[in-house]
């Protein structure tokens, strides 16, 4: 096999996603809507996998974290108290010449609308306005009246839904600090400069966990969660050389944070935030206590009261999705044929195995392949494919990252065995058809690391 992979570009990933039906531009028949996307079958399967692996690590396998699903539209007072109404802003500048808008703090990453394209402000032709603060929250109205009194917001983070439920959950879930509340759900931000495919979008699915701890233990738990989350990203198969941790300096931190570190991934656009881990201190519980009049505090068995401090790991499915595809994308020549292969961790791959009858019109092969597919699909997401040459069917599966293909052939009719083809090594072995289910269960539990060089 000759490796022909060039450093992967975002365009390559966009085109693979489109070709194989992972992700499409949204509202396409109406000309699209800037930076919004719809997920096709394999995209939905991949997102489901990411979400369920996160939930397994953050809730199912722990005694100290419980789940929550709060509303997307909350009482607007929540966003006053949290500081989002006043401070969830980006500085925006308009160019009077090319009529485009840019983030004033990221001009070096933007291109102006005139040809040849330059950085905004780089030529005397650029006529930029003074920066003004632009709030990223989407506004809506609740009820029939559309005035100030009905104004509400689509949540820009899931975290606040957790803080305002602290008292309910702490009492009903019978948990005491240190304990966490985890939530997955859509968040919305009217980003000034969305882009780079799913990396920065206006509607995304956040996976956040707020971990409430005694104030004196916050620093230690911050380190713990940073390590845990980095390990989790490694466990998805992301290559070590593409991951790093970067600590925010004081000027960069959000208004609520006393310490933040980003887990960064080396995307095709450079090192960028994959997940943020923040020490939010007692900021949020204190703010909501003051604004709502409900005491969000902890009373220990000796009657001592304190406001827990909060450690927050927060990530979006979209950022993980892009990182996984970039990390897994691979081109190589096998014999005289080129193939594109997604070397995804088998647990992350949208389809775990393909079942292929070598000659679909042969009734014996077709019946056995169908029966194997029906047995396996009760336990795993698998695919039955009988259209086209076997080589093309393998390549289709390679491109969506299916780790194994079980092929029913002439020999199956004689001895009830099938071949299993490994996506990465292309090695083939024979297995009894009756043992395929157990083999696949085992294979999915095995350790895996990317065969691509670091
Ligand atoms: N509750 C804290 C919070 O929301 P954040 O750093 O603004 O912090 C957390 O966002 C995570 O959400 C980021 O690390 C990133 O994974 C994801 N994220 C933020 N904005 C995003 C966007 N516009 N598109 C996709 N993902 C985004």
Token reading at 127: 């006529």
Other Cβ atoms closer than 10 A to 78: 23
Query: Which residue(s) pair with 23 in the sheet?
Result: 39
Q: Model confidence over 172-228: pLDDT tens digits?
A: 988 899 999 999 999 999 998 888 999 999 999 999 999 999 999 999 999 999 999
pLDDT (0 to 100) of residue 258: 87
- pLDDT band, residue 4 (cuts 50/70/90): low
pLDDT (0 to 100) of residue 5: 66
pLDDT (0 to 100) of residue 51: 98
Measured in Å, residue 42 CA sits from the centre of ligand 1 at 23
Residue with CA at minimum distance from ligand 1 atom 17: 316
Residue with CA at minimum distance from ligand 1 atom 4: 157
Only one residue has tokens 């992972």, namely 22
Token reading at 181: 């509340």
CA angle 248, 252, 258 (to 5 degrees): 65
118 vs 278: CA distance, rounded Å: 36
298 vs 30: CA distance, rounded Å: 52
Measured in Å, residue 440 CA sits from the centre of ligand 1 at 35
Helical axes 317-328 vs 10-19, angle rounded to 10°: 100
364 vs 71: CA distance, rounded Å: 53
CA angle 163, 67, 319 (to 5 degrees): 85
pLDDT at 255 over 90: no
- The residue with greater pLDDT, 258 or 440, is 440
Only one residue has tokens 């396409």, namely 28
Q: What is each CA distance from 283 to 178, 219, 354, in whole angstroms? A: 17, 15, 50
Measured in Å, residue 378 CA sits from the centre of ligand 1 at 35
Residue with CA at minimum distance from ligand 1 atom 18: 316
Q: Model confidence over 89-107: pLDDT tens digits?
A: 989 999 998 888 898 988 8
pLDDT (0 to 100) of residue 108: 83
Q: Model confidence over 280-332: pLDDT tens digits?
A: 999 999 999 999 999 999 998 899 999 999 999 999 999 999 999 999 999 99
Residues 6+ apart with CB under 8 A from 66: 59, 169, 173, 175, 179, 180, 181, 182
| pTM, entire model | 0.95
- pLDDT band, residue 267 (cuts 50/70/90): very high
CA angle 367, 370, 373 (to 5 degrees): 150
pLDDT (0 to 100) of residue 394: 97
pLDDT (0 to 100) of residue 454: 64
Measured in Å, residue 256 CA sits from the centre of ligand 1 at 15
**Of ligand 1's atoms, which has the minimum distance to the CA of residue 276?**
14
Measured in Å, residue 314 CA sits from the centre of ligand 1 at 7
Measured in Å, residue 316 CA sits from the centre of ligand 1 at 6
Helical axes 363-376 vs 436-445, angle rounded to 10°: 50
**Of ligand 1's atoms, which has the minimum distance to the CA of residue 158?**
1
Contact present, 58 and 210 (Cβ < 8 Å): no
Q: Model confidence over 271-293: pLDDT tens digits?
A: 999 999 999 999 999 999 999 99
Contact present, 345 and 452 (Cβ < 8 Å): no
**Of ligand 1's atoms, which has the minimum distance to the CA of residue 191?**
23
pLDDT at 247 over 90: yes
**Of ligand 1's atoms, which has the minimum distance to the CA of residue 159?**
1
Q: Which of 35, 205, 275, 314 to mutate to test the pocket of ligand 1 (most atoms within 8 A of CB)?
A: 314
Helical axes 41-55 vs 317-328, angle rounded to 10°: 110
Lowest-confidence pick of 65-69, 143-147, 395-399, 447-451: 143-147
Mean pLDDT of 152-168: 97
Ligand 1 binding site (Cβ under 6 Å of any ligand atom): 157, 159, 189, 191, 200-201, 204, 206, 208, 273, 275-276, 312, 314-316, 318-319
Question: How high is the mean pLDDT of the chain?
Answer: 95
Measured in Å, residue 199 CA sits from the centre of ligand 1 at 10
pLDDT at 6 over 80: no
Token reading at 407: 């092929």
Measured in Å, residue 205 CA sits from the centre of ligand 1 at 9
Token reading at 8: 């992967």
pLDDT (0 to 100) of residue 438: 98
């Amino acid at each position: 096999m000759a490796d022909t992979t060039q450093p992967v570009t975002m365009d390559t990933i966009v085109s693979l996603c489109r070709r194989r039906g992972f992700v499409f531009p949204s509202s396409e028949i109406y000309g699209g809507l800037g930076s919004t996307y719809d997920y096709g079958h394999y995209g939905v399967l991949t997102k489901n996998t990411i979400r369920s692996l996160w939930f397994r690590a953050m809730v199912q396998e722990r005694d100290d974290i419980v789940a929550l699903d709060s509303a997307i539209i909350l009482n607007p007072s929540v966003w006053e108290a949290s500081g989002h109404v006043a401070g969830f802003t980006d500085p925006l500048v308009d160019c009077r010449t090319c009529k485009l808008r840019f983030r004033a703090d990221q001009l070096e990453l933007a291109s102006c609308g005139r040809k040849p394209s330059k950085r905004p402000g780089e030529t005397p032709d650029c006529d930029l306005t003074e920066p003004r603060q632009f709030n990223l929250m989407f506004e809506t109205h609740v009820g029939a009246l559309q005035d100030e009194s009905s104004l509400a917001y689509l949540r820009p983070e899931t975290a606040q839904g957790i803080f305002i439920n602290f008292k309910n959950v702490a009492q009903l879930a019978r948990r005491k600090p240190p304990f966490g509340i985890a939530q997955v759900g859509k968040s919305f931000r009217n980003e000034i400069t969305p882009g780079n495919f799913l990396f920065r979008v206006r509607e995304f699915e956040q996976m956040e966990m707020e971990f409430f701890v005694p104030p004196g233990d916050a620093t230690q738990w911050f380190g713990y969660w940073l390590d845990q989350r980095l390990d989790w990203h490694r466990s998805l198969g992301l290559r070590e050389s593409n991951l790093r941790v970067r600590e925010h300096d004081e000027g960069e931190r959000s208004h609520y944070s006393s310490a933040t570190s980003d887990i960064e991934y080396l995307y095709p656009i450079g090192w960028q935030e994959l997940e943020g881990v923040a020490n939010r201190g007692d900021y949020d519980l204190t703010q909501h206590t003051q604004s709502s009049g409900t005491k969000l505090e902890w009373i220990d068995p000796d009657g001592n009261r304190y406001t827990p401090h909060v450690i927050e790991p927060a990530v979006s499915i979209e950022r993980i999705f892009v990182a996984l595809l970039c990390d897994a994308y691979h081109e190589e020549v096998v014999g005289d044929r080129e193939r594109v292969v997604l070397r995804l961790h088998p647990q992350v791959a949208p389809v775990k195995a393909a079942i292929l009858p070598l000659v679909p019109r042969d009734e014996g092969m077709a019946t056995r392949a169908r029966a194997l597919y029906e047995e396996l699909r009760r336990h795993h997401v698998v695919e039955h494919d009988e259209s086209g040459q076997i080589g093309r069917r393998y390549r289709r599966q390679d491109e969506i990252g299916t780790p194994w293909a079980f092929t029913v052939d002439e020999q199956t009719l004689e001895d009830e065995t099938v071949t299993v083809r490994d996506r990465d090594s292309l090695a083939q072995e024979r297995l009894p058809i009756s043992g395929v289910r157990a083999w696949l269960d085992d294979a999915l539990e095995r350790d895996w690391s990317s065969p691509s060089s670091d």
